[in-house]
């Protein structure tokens, strides 16, 4: 994949993700009503929060006290000690970009939660 096709592929991936979320929210609205939109927003917020906590892995092995956690910490420490300053700066830049993107995604999911649960309480309760 060359450098010119990467932004296009990223745009297609984000567009496809937005279509999937909107389709699921529409289906949830048709079955459950406003509560469905709130639940889809809550599930999306849970997934995006796990992504931000585990550095891009939504289903990371996070069993506290397991042997994998110590090994993972050792690998992170080793990778940080053997990288050049330029590589660290590039990683920090990538982390900042991911943080901004996850902030926007979290904001959208919080909006879905407010809209869904607000509509539910306004129309059902």
Torsion angle (degrees, nearest 10) of CA 79, 83, 88, 94: -60
Kindly give the confidence (pLDDT) of every residue in the chain, 125 residues in length, as a single tens digit, with 9 standing for 90 and above.
556 666 677 788 888 999 999 999 999 999 999 999 999 999 999 988 888 877 665 555 555 555 566 677 777 777 777 778 888 788 888 888 888 988 999 999 999 999 999 999 999 87
Question: Where along the chain do its domains lie?
Answer: 5-124
For the whole prediction, is pTM greater than 0.85?
Answer: no
């Amino acid at each position: 994949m060359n450098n010119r096709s990467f932004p296009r592929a990223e745009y297609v991936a984000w567009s496809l993700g937005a279509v999937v979320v909107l389709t699921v929210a529409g289906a949830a609205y048709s079955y459950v009503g406003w509560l469905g939109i709130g639940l889809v927003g809550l599930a999306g917020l849970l997934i995006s929060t796990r992504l931000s906590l585990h550095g891009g892995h939504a289903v990371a092995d996070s069993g506290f006290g397991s042997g994998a956690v110590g090994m993972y910490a050792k690998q992170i420490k080793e990778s940080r000690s053997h990288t050049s300053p330029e590589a660290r700066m590039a990683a920090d830049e990538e982390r900042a970009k991911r943080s901004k993107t996850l902030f926007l995604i979290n904001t959208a999911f919080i909006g879905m939660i407010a809209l869904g649960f607000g509509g539910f309480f306004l129309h059902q309760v």
